[in-house]
Structure 1
Amino acid sequence: MTTNRRILVDNATLSGVERLIGESQTVNLSNIDNDILCFEKLITAILFSDAIIGVDDYKDNFRSQRLKNFGFVDFLNIETEIYDSLARNAANFAKDMVFSFDGSKPAGDVVSFFESLRIDPQLRWDIFVSSEYLTLSFLVNDTRNAHYESAIDSIFRNESTDAGATSAGEGFLPNLSIEQHPEITDIKGLVRAFASSNDRYKGESSKSLLDRLVFGYGWTAERSHFYNSVAAMKEADAFLAPLRDAFCESCCRIESRSQVNNLLHRLKSRTQETLVKIVDTSGGARFAMKLPFFTAYFISKTDNPKQCIDLALQTRDIGVFRECRVILHNLAHLSNQDRYREVNSILGFLEQSCASLLKEYAVTTEGGLQTSISLGLSGPSIGIGTKLNQIFRAYRNKPFARVFRNIAQDMLNVERLGGLHDKLCSSVRKRKDAMHPQIQVTPKFMEGRGNERGRPAKL
């Protein structure tokens, strides 16, 4: 069976790849791990597609170089009226999201997002002599080792950069909600409330994550909705930047937290399994699959990231990748009859393909076997629940299949690359003022405590 499987990649992914291959300079050195994940997304998109498409909506001073750097990507010029409609719907979706606080901790839907990212933020007072500064801090087990949290913070910084370079509309910030304070609906209102309730208040901490996380949550929601809508319009699959995949995973967690946690846990704990699934009688399915971390394989066969891209373009027509494209194509085009049996049958073939890929392309480093975990959805309709239904509105009452990479697992893969990490970074060009930005971290055991240096911040 032949396929014409098209995959849409977003501009944030391509920006990360440009930094890794040295086409643009790196200022934030904590970006590098995320850039490797973006590179992995592009490599995977190449391997599992017959063609890659993008959206040509970067502003003029960024646009021409991007088209040059990725000649194998077909960049789409979407008619202004259609683009504006898609962006407007995406912005409305983002504005409907709520970033809530209950006391000093995030609450509600945003908690699922932070669970997907494996981060634990808390509002705290940062105390310096007689002055107190409002901050949103990461709670960590070891403040001397916050490499992962620094990388996640840098991803949120990238969302702001992406928003500034893209010709998208405004008005995508989520609503802010504070338990027992309905009058507070945005960050400015929140800061004013804290300022008026604390005589020692001197401003927001320069290391605070508050603005970045709220902005990033809204922009990530907007872009996730936008790109999935474009993909549906072009009959393509969407392979989005790692933070946006985490957002999509969080929407799945909102709808079925126990199922998602169970699937991911089972696949992590059972090394021999390559796919686990939960199939409803209606034919809807949630599944998790284990695949090689392809970047490790391709960099082990080449000298630099650019050569990896060329090798992936040559490799995509090898039999096992063609077979996977057929299987994923079938998941996205389910028939109306006996969906339960059909989904089980297709997922059975997918499990065999995952096992073949692991055997052929998984690399073992000093950190262990390099494998990635993806959460998948499939079924005849996505009209199941609120958030999931909204983000995939364009697929309503259509056959549907989506796969989201687990960012926490892939960050672990980067940590375990060992010597291959140096080869992956061999083309990175550091700007003269390149640095690791400082972030605010607090020992986890201080979550409910205060001392002379800080305490939880509550209204």
Structure 2
Amino acid sequence: MSTNRRILIDNATLSGVERITGISRTMNLNNIDNDILCLEKLITAILFSDKLIGVDDYKKKFRSGRFENFDFIEFIKIDQPTYAALATDAATFARSMTFSFEGSKPAGDVVSFFEALRIDPQLRWDVFVSSEYLTLSFLVEDPKNAPYETSIDTVFRNEETDCELVATGTDHQPAFRVAKRSDITDIKDFVHALSSNNPQYAGIDYRSALNRILFGFGWAAERSHFYNAVAHMEGADAYLAPLRDAFCESCCRIDYPSRVINLLETLKANSQKTLSSILEPSGRANFAMRLPFFTAYLISKTDNPRQSIDLALSMRSASEFQDCRTIFHNLDHLSAADKVKEINGILKYLDQSCARLMRKYAVSTESGLQFSLSLGLTGINLGASVKLNQLFRSYKNEPFARVFRNIAQDMLNVERLGGLYDTVCSLIREHPEASYPRISTTPKYMEHRENEHSRPAKL
């Protein structure tokens, strides 16, 4: 069956690939794990597409190099009025999200985002002699060993870089609220209120994640909406950078909190399963599937990540990937009249295809089997209130399928690469001023406690 399956890949993913393949120098050395996930995203997009497309919206001095580096991607130019309308809609959506604080802990929509990212931030005062610094700190089991939180923090830093390279000129800041303080509507007012009540206030800790997470949450929301709208316009599926997939997953967690957790946990707990699904009487479905972490397979067959991309391009015509593209094509073209048994049949074939891919391409390292978890949706009911309806407004009255990778599981895959890690990092070129930026961490047991070094910060 001819599918002509098109996948749209975002610029943030390609930036990560450029760093991991040595095309561009790496300034922030904490980027490496995220960049491996970007490589995985590109490889997966290649394998499950007949054609890759991108958006030509980078600033001029970076544009030609990107075309040359990814000559297997067709970069589309969107006319300015259409681009402006899409960016404006995306920014409006981002502003509809809420970043709130209740006491010292984040609240509102951002909580589901943090759940998808598997991080637990808290606002705290860090005490140095008679000076106190405000910081959004990551609660961790061992502050001396927090590589996961360090990687996630760096992903937020990348969102700001991506915004500078695209520069849509729109306001994408999420709504900011503080419980029981309707007079506080932005982060500046919040910091002012906190500092006014603390005579020892000496500023915001330079390690604090507060501003970059607030910014990153809004930009991830804007770009997720923008790229999904462009993908719909181009008849494509959107494969987004890891943080943006986590944002899409967070919208699922807001609308279907128990389903998302149950589907993902079922696959984590049962090594024999490759797909778990929940179907509604209408035929709509939420599903989670287990796929190989293809980077592990490809890097085990090649000498470096550039060769792994070339190998993926040669593998996309293999029958097992063609079969998967056919299945996703069928999911994309379900009609509203389809019955549950028909959708069940498609999901059954998807389960069988995933199982075949796991048997053939999943690699075992000394730390265990390398696999990824993805959350999928079909035929969502688009109304006017819930977050998924806003995120996928372009798909109103159109049954569709979407798949989002789980960033926490994929970060675990990077940790488990073992000896393959050195190979996938073999082309990295460090910038002369490269460094490992520090983050603020706090022992989890201190969440509700204070000592001479720190305490929760709240109004």
Report TM bin, short chain: over 0.9
- SS for the counterpart of 2:256 is helix
Q: Deviations over 1:20-48 (max 9, x none)?
A: 00000001111000000000000000000
Contact 2:8 / 2:54 at 8 angstroms: preserved in 1?
A: yes
Query: 1:105 and 1:307 mapped to 2: Cα distance?
Result: 45
Which residue number in structure 1 is paired with residue 171 of structure 2?
A: 171
Tell me the CA shift for residue 339 of structure 1. 2.9
Which residue number in structure 2 is paired with residue 224 of structure 1?
A: 224
Tell me the CA shift for residue 195 of structure 1. 1.2
User: Are 1:298 and 2:298 matched, yes or no?
Assistant: yes
Which residue number in structure 2 is paired with residue 411 of structure 1?
A: 411
Q: Deviations over 1:47-85 (max 9, x none)?
A: 000000000000012111111100000001001000000
Q: Deviations over 1:402-443 (max 9, x none)?
A: 000000000000000001000000000001111110000000
Q: Deviations over 1:159-205 (max 9, x none)?
A: 00000000412210111110011111111111111111111111111
Query: 1:294 and 1:385 mapped to 2: Cα distance?
Result: 37
Query: 2:297 and 2:168 mapped to 1: Cα distance?
Result: 36
Matches within 5 A, 1:372-451: 372-379=372-379, 381-383=381-383, 386-451=386-451
Tell me the CA shift for residue 11 of structure 1. 0.3
Distance 1:151 1:115, change over 3 A: same
Query: 1:166 and 1:118 mapped to 2: Cα distance?
Result: 28
Opposite residue 214 of structure 2, the aligned amino acid is V
Which residue number in structure 2 is paired with residue 315 of structure 1?
A: 315
User: Are 1:15 and 2:23 matched, yes or no?
Assistant: no
Which residue number in structure 2 is paired with residue 28 of structure 1?
A: 28
- SS for the counterpart of 1:150 is helix
Tell me the CA shift for residue 338 of structure 1. 3.3
Contact 2:87 / 2:170 at 8 angstroms: preserved in 1?
A: no
Moved over 6 A (4+): none
Matches within 5 A, 1:73-112: 73-112=73-112
Opposite residue 207 of structure 1, the aligned amino acid is R
Which moves more between the two structures, 279-288 or 331-340? 331-340
Q: Deviations over 1:303-333 (max 9, x none)?
A: 0111011110000000000000000010010
Query: 1:170 and 1:134 mapped to 2: Cα distance?
Result: 29
Gaps of 5+ in 2: none
Contact 1:121 / 1:136 at 8 angstroms: preserved in 2?
A: yes
Q: Deviations over 1:81-103 (max 9, x none)?
A: 00000000000111111101000
Tell me the CA shift for residue 380 of structure 1. 5.8
Opposite residue 174 of structure 1, the aligned amino acid is P
Query: 2:326 and 2:355 mapped to 1: Cα distance?
Result: 16
Which residue number in structure 2 is paired with residue 275 of structure 1?
A: 275
Query: 1:366 and 1:109 mapped to 2: Cα distance?
Result: 38
Tell me the CA shift for residue 295 of structure 1. 0.3
TM-score by length of 1: 0.99
Tell me the CA shift for residue 108 of structure 1. 1.7
Opposite residue 142 of structure 2, the aligned amino acid is D
Gaps of 5+ in 1: none
Opposite residue 360 of structure 1, the aligned amino acid is K
Query: 2:146 and 2:167 mapped to 1: Cα distance?
Result: 34
Query: 1:4 and 1:59 mapped to 2: Cα distance?
Result: 30
Tell me the CA shift for residue 386 of structure 1. 1.3
Which residue number in structure 2 is paired with residue 121 of structure 1?
A: 121
Matches within 5 A, 1:363-378: 363-378=363-378
Matches within 5 A, 1:208-247: 208-247=208-247
- SS for the counterpart of 2:176 is strand
TM-score by length of 2: 0.99
Contact 1:88 / 1:169 at 8 angstroms: preserved in 2?
A: no
Opposite residue 355 of structure 1, the aligned amino acid is A
